[in-house]
Structure 1
Amino acid sequence: MKICLVGAGALGCALGGLLTEAGHEVWLVNRGLAPVNALRAHGLHLRVDGVDRVVPVRATTDYADILASSGTMDLVIVLVKSFHTREAIAAALPVVGEHTAVLSLQNGLGHEDVLAEVVGRHKVLAGKTYVGGVLLAPGHIIAGVAGKETLIGELDGSLSERVQRIADVFNAAGLLTHASQNILGAMWDKLLVNVATGALSAITRLPYGELYQVPAVQACGVAAVAEAMAVAAASGITLQTTDAPQAWAKAAVGMPFEFKASMLQSLEKGSVTEVDFVNGAVVRQGALCGVPTPVNQALVACLKGIERGLLGAPRV
C-alpha cells in the first residue's frame, strides 16, 4: 500500500516506521527541514520497548517529491495539530487521487468535517489511535505501541472493504487495529483518554511516570473524564468506557515512564496546544446539551493562561 503521513511528528514517525518495516511504500511529510534532513541522512531511530533500531524511511517537505516518485497515494493519514487541518490537507491535494482514502487519526473532535470540505466526504475515514510517540531528537523517537489500540471506520458506520483492508495492513505491521461500526463512540472513547491526562500533563509539566504518582492529579483527571462521559451520554453517544477511572488507567497502558502527553510536547516546543479540541470540545458540547463542565473549563483556562505566558498573545 502507498501511504502518506501528513504531519509526521513523533506519532507519525512511530506509525510510519512500523508500516515501512512491514513493506509498505510510506512517505513521511513534515514542514520542518531539520527533521526531514535527519530522517534522510540517518534513517528513523525508533525506540520500541526500550530497544532502538534504525528504519530507512522516505521523508520530504514537498508533495512534488512524492508525486514524482510514487504518484497518488492509496491512503493519506492526517496527524497535524487540529488547528492546522485545513491548510495541511489542502497542501496534500496533489497526492490525493480518485480512490485515495483520507484518514484522520488526530486528537479531539471535528476534523472529519474539515477534511470532507476539502477532499469530499466520500474519501474521508475517521479513526482514533492510542499509540503514542515522544520526540527525543530530530529523527529519533520513542514509540508506545504495546497494548495500544487503533480504531478506524466509515463516517456512516458501515463496515467497508477499504476500512477492513487498512485495518489488516495496520495489524500486519504490529499495530493493533479494529474496523469500527461505531466510530463516533470510538472517537469519544479516545477523547476521554486525552481529557484524562493531556491538559494535566501540560499544566504540571510531568511525564506519565510522575503524573501517575500524584493522587490529587488523578482525582482531577478522573473528574474531568466523568464530566465528559456525562456530556457524551446527554448527546446520545454510545461509549465502551464504563467509568471514569477506566479512561485514566487506559491512558498509561504500555507507555514508558518518560512519556509526555502531546499537549506538554507542544508547550515544550513553544507551540499552542490542542486543548480547544479536547477539553474545550467537552465544554462546548456540554453547553449545547446543558451539562455543567467546571473541571474541564478550569483546565482550558489554565492552559490558555500558560500559552499566553509562553507566546505573549492569546490564541486567535
Structure 2
Amino acid sequence: MMRILVLGAGAIGGYFGGLLLHSGADVTFLVRRRRRNLLKKNGLVIHTPDQDYDIAVADHLVEQVDEPYDLVILSCKAYDLEEAIKAITPAVGPDTHVLPLLNGLRHYDVLDETFGAEKILGGLAKNICTMQKDGSIRSWSRPGNVTFGPRSEEQLDFCRQLEELLLRAPISVTHSSHITSALWDKFCLITVLGAINCLLRGSIGDIMATRNGRDIALAIIDECAGTAKAAGYPLSEASLDYLQSSMTREGSDYTSSMFRDMELGKSVEADQLVGDMLIRAEDAGLSTPFLKAAYCTLQTYMLRREKS
C-alpha cells in the first residue's frame, strides 16, 4: 500500500488527507504540536454539504519524520514553503514523489532544485473550505477536487497508481495530461481575483457598484491572460469567459482568500501570486499597470503589518 505523508492538517491538507484516510489509505499527518494535541482530543472532523466525517487520527500524527514515504502531499501556504521543505526532507527518498497543492507556480522552481524535477508532480486543489476555531474543517464544495498530472513521462506510472488510490475517496479527481496548462488556469484565476479584491478593497459586487470597477477588473484579466499567453499557456476560451463573467457579476460576494486574510491582518501570498505574475509579465516585456498597482498595495500592507 502506498504510504502517504500529508504536511499539515489545515483546511486543504486535513480535508483531502482526512478523506483519503477515511477511504482506507495509509496516511500520516505531519503537524505542529498544538494541532496534534487538538486532533488527538477532538479527532479530525470534516463538515461537507452532504455528509459529516469524524475521523480518528490519533495514531496517524507525527511532529517530525525520519524515514521516506511513497508520496508527500504539500498543502501549506506558499509563503511557508521554506519551512515546509525542511520538515519533509527526511521523508523524501529515492523513490518518493511530491504532490504540491500550493497556490501559484513559483514553488515548482524551488522544489525542482531541492529534490529534483523527476520527483515533483503537478497538482492543485479546488475546494472552498476553511478550518474553524474548534479545529474542524468546513467545506462548501460538492466535493472538493484534486487535479494532478505528470510533468514528465517518467511519472506516468506513478500517476496512474495515484489516480486509483484517490478515486477510492469521496473527492473529485482529475488526472490531467496537460497539468501545466491547468496550473496556469488556476494561477490566473486566483491572481486576478486577489488583485481585484485587494487593489479595490471589496467584493466583486462592491466593486461592480462603482463607476470604473468593471473596466479595472477587465484590465487585470487582460494583463494576466496576456502573461499566460506569453509563457506559452494561453487561457482557453471557456476559462477566459469564466473569468470575465465571474469577475464582473453585479451583486456578487466573491472574494479571494488573500483579500480575506488581508482584512483579518494575516500574512498574504502576495509575492507568490500577484508579485510573481508581475515578474513574469515584465520578463515578457508586457505592460501591466494594474498588476503593478495591486502589488504595490499588497507590499504596503505587508510593510505596515511588519511594523505593527
TM-score grouping bracket, smaller chain normalisation? 0.7 to 0.9
Q: Does 1:235 align with 2:231?
A: yes
1:40 — aligned with what? Answer: 40
Map 1:1-316 → 2, pairs under 5 A? 1-31=2-32, 33-49=33-49, 52-58=52-58, 60=61, 62-64=63-65, 67=66, 72-146=68-142, 148-156=144-152, 160-201=156-197, 211-212=204-205, 214-215=207-208, 216=210, 220-240=216-236, 242=238, 244-247=240-243, 261-264=256-259, 266-267=261-262, 270-312=265-307
Displacement after TM superposition at 1:187 (Å): 0.8
Measured at CA, do residues 48 and 223 of structure 1 come closer, stay the same or move farther in structure 2, by a change above 3 Å?
Answer: farther
Between the aligned partners of 1:278 and 1:157, the Cα distance in structure 2 is: 28
Secondary structure of 2:93's match?
Answer: strand
Higher strand share: 1
Between the aligned partners of 2:80 and 2:12, the Cα distance in structure 1 is: 16
Unaligned runs of 5+ in 2: none
Displacement after TM superposition at 1:233 (Å): 1.0
Displacement after TM superposition at 1:169 (Å): 2.2
Match for 2:76: what amino acid?
V
Q: Is the 2:121–2:155 contact (alpha carbons within 8 Å) kept by the matching residues of 1?
A: no
Measured at CA, do residues 62 and 243 of structure 1 come closer, stay the same or move farther in structure 2, by a change above 3 Å?
Answer: closer
Please report the RMSD computed on the Cα atoms of aligned residues, expressed in angstroms.
3.0
Measured at CA, do residues 169 and 248 of structure 1 come closer, stay the same or move farther in structure 2, by a change above 3 Å?
Answer: farther
Between the aligned partners of 1:260 and 1:55, the Cα distance in structure 2 is: 30
Q: Which has the larger radius of gyration?
A: 2
Match for 2:82: what amino acid?
R
Displacement after TM superposition at 1:260 (Å): 6.6
Deviation string 1:105-144 (CA, Å, 9 cap, x unpaired) is 1101121221122222221111122123212114212124
Deviation string 1:240-259 (CA, Å, 9 cap, x unpaired) is 454544136679xxxxx999
Match for 1:309: what amino acid?
R
Match for 1:16: what amino acid?
G
Measured at CA, do residues 25 and 275 of structure 1 come closer, stay the same or move farther in structure 2, by a change above 3 Å?
Answer: same
Between the aligned partners of 2:21 and 2:244, the Cα distance in structure 1 is: 32
Q: Is the 2:118–2:152 contact (alpha carbons within 8 Å) kept by the matching residues of 1?
A: no
The percent identity for this pair of structures is 26
Displacement after TM superposition at 1:306 (Å): 2.0
Secondary structure of 2:96's match?
Answer: strand
Displacement after TM superposition at 1:194 (Å): 0.6
Displacement after TM superposition at 1:238 (Å): 4.1
Aligned length: 299
Secondary structure of 1:117's match?
Answer: helix
Between the aligned partners of 1:47 and 1:100, the Cα distance in structure 2 is: 31
Q: Is the 1:195–1:225 contact (alpha carbons within 8 Å) kept by the matching residues of 2?
A: no
Secondary structure of 1:137's match?
Answer: coil
Between the aligned partners of 2:19 and 2:161, the Cα distance in structure 1 is: 17
Measured at CA, do residues 123 and 159 of structure 1 come closer, stay the same or move farther in structure 2, by a change above 3 Å?
Answer: closer
Between the aligned partners of 1:202 and 1:135, the Cα distance in structure 2 is: 22
TM-score of the aligned structures, taking structure 2 as reference length: 0.83
Between the aligned partners of 1:241 and 1:163, the Cα distance in structure 2 is: 28
Secondary structure of 1:155's match?
Answer: coil
Between the aligned partners of 1:141 and 1:17, the Cα distance in structure 2 is: 10
Displacement after TM superposition at 1:162 (Å): 0.9
Deviation string 1:21-75 (CA, Å, 9 cap, x unpaired) is 11112222233x32221111111121111754322225645224xx5xxx53221
TM-score of the aligned structures, taking structure 1 as reference length: 0.82
